[in-house]
Amino acid sequence: MSAPDPTLMPVGDVPAPAAASITRPGASRRTQLEEAVLPPLVALLLAAVVGDVLILTFGQSPGAVYRLLLDGTWGNAYGFGQVLYKATTLVFTGLAVALGLRAGLFNIGAESQLAAGGFCAALIGLVLPAGFPALLCLPVYILAAAIGGGAVGAVPGVLKARFGAHEVIVTIMLNFIVLALLNYLTSTRLHVPDTLHTAEIRSGRLPRLADLWPAFQGSAANVVIVLAILAMVGLWWFLFRTRRGFELRAVGLQPHAAEYGGIDVGGVTWRALALSGAIAGIGGLNYVLGYKHYYEEGFATGAGFLGIAVALVGRSHPLGIGLAALLFATLSQGGLAVNALVPKQMVDVLQAVVILAVATSVPEVRRLLRMRRGGGDR
């Protein structure tokens, strides 16, 4: 495995389904671009048309609603700040899910991993004394959040590597267990009376964007967005420029071939899920360090599940994930802005249409589905 050359991957004796790789070997750049961009584009347009029809059934003008949606998000600094804030969390959960997908694993647990990361960071925040040097704080918080999320991610990873337990089932079930546990700890031990949140952390709060550019006044956007961008770059580097990343992608494309090539498939599996959980966990800092400075019950409800959509629409590529996160954040914040004209559920339906359309058109998903149907015994 010394020469990470992707063209070596689909060798002749590999079962046929594996040949549907993420970037088609030997395809021209234009073909690759078409394959990467067209399916999501179809999905988005389909969602837009369904949205038009829905808006018309509410007796509103689609043009007016979409304009209001854009005005309330990209049209003013506050709305844009909110989009950035929501996109920051979604980048982390999207990257987490994408890392799993690249390794052929479907991590449905980002929801609880995100919460666990935020919870651990808030716990550390309660322990660290006030006035702890800010420069030392940040790494400590990142480590705490990564350990929190990573531990939740490692459990399904180890269970899969050791016993072949299906990661989809385990991550879904762990969502319930972990969220209920955090819920219990918060509401019985750690909460401030009459609230659902812990006490505020005493040191290491991060500045909001509004502190740097006053135009963002009031919005929750904060400098954790820099961490999100670093995570995008870092994950790209890891996946496409390191040996570990290559091994991970090889396992994702064809585990049998990867094993034949000398890769420790079990090791890659549990490390991938643990790293995936750690990335989702760091996303919890967006709320805990940057926004409210405490852990609150359900602080990012749905952001973990939306991360799956972000990863799929973003084609599991860090750059695509950044764009998809902005899209879903825009829809989410825009939903509030147009709430006067159409019910909130309309935006939920739009999101669902995007997800469905992408899920049926993206090769990765079709490949995963086929693996489950065909040789699901790996």
Partner 1 sequence: MQKYALSSALTSNAVTLPPSRPGTSFHRIMRKLLLLVGVLLVVHVALLFAHPSGAEKPPAGNTVDVGVVFDLGGRGDKSFNDGAYLGAERAQKELGVRVRFIEPGEGSDRESGLRLLAAEGMDLVIGVGFIFTDDLTQLAKEYPTTKFAGVDYSVATDKDGKVIPPPSNLAALKFREEQGSYLVGALAALVGKSKKVGFVGGMDSPLIQKFEAGYEAGVHQVCPDCTVLAQYAGVTPEAFRNPGKGKEIALAQYQQGANVIFHASGSTGLGVFEAARQTNKLAIGVDADQYAEAPGYVLTSMVKGVDNAVYDAIKKTKDGTFTGGIYQYGLAEQGVGYIYDKNNAKLIPPDVHARLEQLRQDIVAGRISVPSTK
Give dist(CA 264, CA 262) in Å, integer.
7
Using rule CB under 8 A, residue 38 touches partner 1 = yes
Q: Site for partner 1 (CB under 8 A): which residue of 220, 239, 258, 272?
A: 220
Q: Which stretch binds partner 1 (CB under 8 A): 16-24, 161-169, 229-237, 267-275?
A: 16-24
Using rule CB under 8 A, residue 344 touches partner 1 = yes
Using rule CB under 8 A, residue 2 touches partner 1 = no
Torsion of Cα atoms, 322 then 300 then 69 then 359, to 10°: 60
Report DSSP state, residue 103. T
Q: Site for partner 1 (CB under 8 A): which residue of 19, 36, 172, 190?
A: 19
**C-beta of 220: minimal distance to partner 1 in Å?**
6
Site string for partner 1, 131-150 (x = CB under 8 A): --------------------
Using rule CB under 8 A, residue 107 touches partner 1 = no
Using rule CB under 8 A, residue 199 touches partner 1 = no
Site string for partner 1, 56-95 (x = CB under 8 A): x--xxxxxx-x-----x-----x---x--xx---------
Using rule CB under 8 A, residue 46 touches partner 1 = yes
Report DSSP state, residue 19. G
- Alpha carbon separation from 353 to 49, 62, 73, 294, 335 (Å, rounded): 10, 17, 21, 34, 15
Q: Which stretch binds partner 1 (CB under 8 A): 159-167, 225-233, 250-258, 300-308?
A: 300-308
Torsion of Cα atoms, 56 then 59 then 64 then 65, to 10°: -70
- Alpha carbon separation from 79 to 333, 336, 341 (Å, rounded): 7, 10, 18
If the CB atoms of residues 90 and 275 are measured against partner 1, the closer one turns out to be: 90
As given in the structure block, the two tokens for residue 250 are: 């090889």
Using rule CB under 8 A, residue 227 touches partner 1 = no
If the CB atoms of residues 12 and 133 are measured against partner 1, the closer one turns out to be: 12
If the CB atoms of residues 161 and 324 are measured against partner 1, the closer one turns out to be: 324
The count of chain residues that interact with partner 1, using the rule CB under 8 A, is 75
**C-beta of 228: minimal distance to partner 1 in Å?**
15
Give dist(CA 59, CA 129) in Å, integer.
57
- Alpha carbon separation from 53 to 47, 48, 330, 353 (Å, rounded): 10, 9, 20, 13
User: Half-sphere exposure of residue 200, counting CA atoms within 13 Å on the CB side?
Assistant: 9
